[in-house]
Amino acid sequence: MTTNDIRRTRLEKVLKNHNYQESALLEILHSAQGIYGYLDRNLLMDIAGSLNLPPSHVYGVTTFYSFFKMRKPGQHIITACLGTACYVKGVEQIVVAIEKEFNLKRGGSTADGKLSLLCTRCIGACAMAPVVVLDDQVIGKATKELVIEKIRNVLEGVKDESE
């Protein structure tokens, strides 16, 4: 079986667990994004067909919620919290520094697809503001120097593995 077949089998299981019910669309999209990494058009068409919903409805729901991603994310993801406490504590400077240092824009990825920069509204770790999340690692009381160094380490780690 190809990777895609395995993924499709997992998706089918999710659909079945939810009895192909239209009201479980959000849960199914969550699971699908977990399985495939992101939700592209073909996948959304597939889900629409399985739930017997108009593709426009599935597309509309997907684009309404900012958590759902329709573009392939980078290998590593740095997420900056733009919540009030982080904003007050100067997270904007960190975001600008990352954009400059790694030559990418918020919401986008580097040309080599290794790093994506996302912004989110409050991850709820406000007492440690400003906060950024590198892959699964939460970096509290962040400074731009610290964050850039951590990103570099992670990116270099990738290179090591592939060599």
Closer CB to other proteins, 76 or 89, in the complex: 89
- Contact status: 121 vs other proteins (CB under 8 A): yes
Nearest residue to 126 (alpha-carbon basis) of 71, 161, 86, 80? 86
Among the residue ranges 9-17, 41-49, 76-84, 104-112, the one whose residues contact other proteins (CB under 8 A): 76-84
* Of the candidate residues 9, 17, 93, 153, the single one contacting other proteins (CB under 8 A): 93
Give the CA angle between residues 51, 44, 30 to the nearest 5°: 80
Closer CB to other proteins, 9 or 21, in the complex: 21
What residues numbered 122-151 form the site for other proteins, per CB under 8 A?
122-129, 137-140
Task: Give how far Cα 159 sits from Cα of 136, 150, 153, 155, Å.
Answer: 19, 15, 10, 7
- Would you mind telling me the total number of residues written for the chain in this entry? 163
Q: Which residues bind other proteins (CB under 8 A)?
A: 21-27, 29-30, 60-61, 64-68, 82-90, 92-93, 120-129, 137-140
